[in-house]
Amino acid sequence: MQFQLTEAQQSLRDEVRTFAQEEIRPRAIELDQQDEYPADILAELGDRRLTGLTLPEEYGGRGEGLVELALMTEELSAATMSVASTVALHLGVATVIERFGTEDQCEEFLSEMATYDTVGALGLSEENAGSDKSRMETTAERDGDEWVLNGHKRWVTNYLDADVILTYAKTGPEEAAPHNVSAFLVPVEAFEVENVWDTLGARSAKAVEVSLSDVRVSDGRRVGEEGEAYVERGRDKNGVNVPARGVGIARAALEDTVEYTSRRRQYDRAIGDFQGVRWEVGKMAERVDTARLLTLRAADRADRGADVSREYSMAKINATQAAVDNANDAMQLHGGIGYTTERHVERYLRDARLLTIAGGPNEGHKDTLADAVFSRHAER
């Protein structure tokens, strides 16, 4: 078993790390405090085609896999999670188009999505359809060559800069579930904004609640088979971006803590010389390595076409909790200065807290993990 990145993967990681540390991190506190969307940063990522990292080269992407996505996401998240979230969600929409869309849809959207000239957002969750998407209330009714959409969507990240929303709606009877949901590419101007959420963290990537009222879209804007969109979505492995974001935050918290405790002096010695501090820092490093290895394992298996329900849930639970625990320990070891907005560590804690919820709450993934463990045992 090899635990070594290829030269190409190392090169990608180094490219993103240099950009993230030189161009994103120096502005991270300001972006967060001012709730500022990082438009120029995302434009530069688009110029580098990192916003199309996993899209085929024929559509302007880089043609990379999920291991590369995990590496990129970690580096962006270590600088600020809002940028990593924005890129991952946009790329997730593009991937659904690439995998399940028509040739015409791919030709129309993917080249500009690869360069972030067309921005995608996801309309999936609703007030009563969080973890349980069967409670979705948004509907799409066929009217000739068009569909008429009515309903609402929550947590539409990227909406304020988006051009198109990948919108999921029920198109069949309840008894047909889960084969009763279709996806549509709906222009952003067709929605009405109900609420721009003021959130604890991820403040540069605003999440919005929107509604649709008798919105008409052509059947040519339907992505994938009618009634199969939610099932198709279950075959999409881009979810590794969530644990990768956790790895990035956990690593940033560790690195900041090592730097601070190495130079902060109390009682005529660096506080990093105290055994209690050293043990805590060692534990933080252990969390980072464990989270990264689990995340890259899940990404690698997904790239190989293997089932990753066990590996993804394990990575998601571990990495997102590692982000919370490392951010919390970083704040403690920074002392009072870590509680101020002059340092990054308080943002790490606020951003990390989202990750145990995003992409499905960790409690749900614990059920998925346990199901996979018992299922594999029964197959022996």
Question: Tell me, what's the pLDDT at 269?
Answer: 97
Query: How large is the average pLDDT for residues 295-301?
Result: 96
Instruction: With cut-offs at 50, 70 and 90, classify the pLDDT of residue 148.
Output: very high
Question: Tell me, what's the pLDDT at 2?
Answer: 73
Is the pLDDT score of 34 beyond 70? yes
- What's the CA gap between 74 and 68, in Å, rounded? 10
- What's the CA gap between 295 and 242, in Å, rounded? 9
Query: How large is the average pLDDT for residues 334-348?
Result: 97
Question: Tell me, what's the pLDDT at 235?
Answer: 76
CA distances from 105 to 50, 111, 236, 295 (A): 21, 11, 18, 31
Is the pLDDT score of 214 beyond 70? yes
Sign of CA dihedral 68, 70, 72, 74: negative
Question: Tell me, what's the pLDDT at 234?
Answer: 80
User: What percent of the chain lies above the pLDDT cut of 70?
Assistant: 99
* Residue 83 Cα to chain centre, angstroms: 10
Question: Tell me, what's the pLDDT at 376?
Answer: 76
Question: Tell me, what's the pLDDT at 82?
Answer: 97
Is the pLDDT score of 349 beyond 90? yes
Q: How much is the mean pLDDT over the chain?
A: 96
336-369 per-residue burial string, b: 16 or more CB within 10 A, e: under 16: eebeeeebbbbbbbbbbbbbbebbbebebbeebb
User: Is the separation of the CB atoms in 76 and 225 below 8 Å?
Assistant: no
Is the pLDDT score of 16 beyond 70? yes
- pTM here? 0.96
Question: Tell me, what's the pLDDT at 375?
Answer: 85
The region of weakest confidence among 126-135, 141-150, 253-262, 309-318 is 126-135
Which tens digit of pLDDT belongs to each residue from 365-374?
A: 999 999 999 9
Higher pLDDT, 178 or 234: 178
Instruction: Name 76's Cβ contacts closer than 8 Å, sequence gap at least 6.
Output: 16, 20, 24, 83, 84, 87, 248
β-pairing, 265-266 with 192-196? unpaired
Which tens digit of pLDDT belongs to each residue from 105-143?
A: 999 999 999 999 999 999 999 999 988 988 999 999 999
Instruction: Name 360's Cβ contacts closer than 8 Å, sequence gap at least 6.
Output: 131, 316
Q: Which two tokens stand for residue 300?
A: 């690698």
Question: Tell me, what's the pLDDT at 1?
Answer: 61
User: What percent of the chain lies above the pLDDT cut of 90?
Assistant: 93
- In this structure, the chain runs to a length of 380
- What's the CA gap between 378 and 370, in Å, rounded? 12
SS3 label, residue 178: coil
Instruction: With cut-offs at 50, 70 and 90, classify the pLDDT of residue 285.
Output: very high
